């Protein structure tokens, strides 16, 4: 194993601190619960938008069923 490969593997290990919950995310950045990196915060925002759209879809479907608009 080359020295560069050893350094890369060492850098990919998660950093864990029990008091502040600091760790490396899947993008290789240091994230905590209170402060996310840009990629993780974008993922969280997109996940919330997807969940909201799904909840709205369920409500629309239920309202359509109640009004007998679906066949």
Tens-digit pLDDT profile for residues 30-71: 888 788 888 888 999 999 999 999 999 999 998 888 887 655
pLDDT, tens digit, 9 for 90 and up, residues 6-22: 555 554 555 444 455 67
CA 71 – CA 69 distance, rounded (Å): 7
Over the Cα atoms of the chain, what is R_g?
21
CA 10 – CA 33 distance, rounded (Å): 23
What phi, psi does 24 have (nearest 5°)?
-90, 135
Residue 17 contacts by C-beta under 8 Å, 6 or more apart in sequence?
Answer: 23
């Amino acid at each position: 194993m080359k020295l560069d490969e050893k350094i890369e593997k060492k850098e990919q290990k998660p950093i864990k601190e029990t008091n502040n919950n600091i760790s490396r995310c899947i993008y290789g950045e240091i994230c905590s619960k209170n402060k996310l990196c840009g990629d993780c915060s974008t993922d969280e925002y997109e996940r919330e938008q997807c969940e909201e759209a799904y909840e709205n879809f369920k409500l629309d479907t239920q309202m359509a069923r109640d009004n007998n608009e679906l066949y």
